[in-house]
Amino acid sequence: PMPSLVAGAAGGGGGGKAAGAVADDDDDDAEASGTDGARAAFCELERDALYDEELAERHARYLSSPALAQMRSARAALPAHGQRGEFLRLLETGHRTILISGATGSGKTTQIPQYILEHAAETGRGSQCSIICTQPRRIAAISVAERVAAERGEGAPGTRGSAVGYHVRLEAHRGPDTRLLFCTTGVLLRMLCAGDSAVACSHVVLDEVRRTHACDARCTTAAPRRAAPRRAPFHEHRRI
């Protein structure tokens, strides 16, 4: 089945653990230790017209590359692709939060961040797009980053020219071209607790939010409230 969307909601939900379940490792708790009293906020990125053109050209090459035709077809066959247009419409109409739920294998994890990145490149706003996508475990953050980089026909995460990177507890692979950063929720909370400095980020994707997990609960509360004040209020919502 296709993923379902709820726009403008304030809380977490969706996939992940069932109610009462216990996390199967302590990645998030260890990485988020000492994160009480987060003060940092997200800020918008400055526009760079030349970089916008470069990112648009890269995306055009991706769409026209014969070597990636099979990968593009595989992505288009995923259930998430059927909701791509509606998801981007909700994003463009100024909803501050969009909740997405769908079956395992529908493409939520790998496709949603790419839709945001591709849309930014297509509309000439690639330089103002910087996405943080959280995963509940380190191995997931690394493997998803590698998968997304492969789907985009790019080099390894964090290498020159690759828009994908990852950051886990003791390992960070990101570079000047990184526009889509996969990390654990604990790393995101660390970013928000780094002091009074701002985190340059346009979108935050919280994947596999577990309502019973303390770290996830803190992320779903802290991240939206520290977003740049340019989207609609929480209470404006719509079900699809």
E strand residue ranges, the chain: 4-7, 41-43, 98-101, 131-135, 164-168, 171-173, 180-184, 198-200, 203-206, 238-239
Judged by DSSP in three states, 131 sits in: strand
Residue for token pair 């977003």: 227
- Rounded Cα distance between 237 and 114, Å, is 23
Predicted confidence at residue 219, as pLDDT, reads 52
Indicate whether 236 pLDDT > 50. Answer: no
If we measure between CA atoms, which residue out of 186, 168, 199 comes closest to residue 34?
186
Task: Please determine, for residue 234, whether its predicted confidence score (pLDDT) is greater than 90.
Answer: no
Closest CA to 157 of 146, 144, 143, 169: 146
Task: Work out the angle between the directed axes of helices 108-122 and 49-64 (0-180°, nearest 10).
Answer: 120
Residues 6+ apart with CB under 8 A from 2: 79, 80, 82, 83, 102, 106
Of all residues in the chain, the percent with pLDDT exceeding 70 is: 67
Give me the pLDDT at residue 205, please. Answer: 92
**Rounded Cα gap, residues 20 and 76, in angstroms:** 36
Comparison of pLDDT for 212 and 102, the residue scoring more: 102
d(CA 107, CA 89): 18
Distance CA 182, CA 175 (A): 13
DSSP 69-109: HHHHHHHHTSGGGGGHHHHHHHHHTT-S-EEEE--TTSSHH
Q: What is the pLDDT of residue 113?
A: 96
How many angstroms separate the CA atoms of 57 and 121, rounded?
8
Q: Which two tokens mark 71?
A: 């990968």
Give the single-character DSSP code of 219. H
Residue pLDDT, tens place only, 11-69:
333 333 333 333 344 455 455 555 555 455 566 788 899 999 999 999 999 999 999 99
Q: Are strands 4-7 and 98-101 parallel, antiparallel or unpaired?
A: antiparallel
The helix or strand, by DSSP H or E, that contains position 216, with its residue range, turns out to be helix 214-225
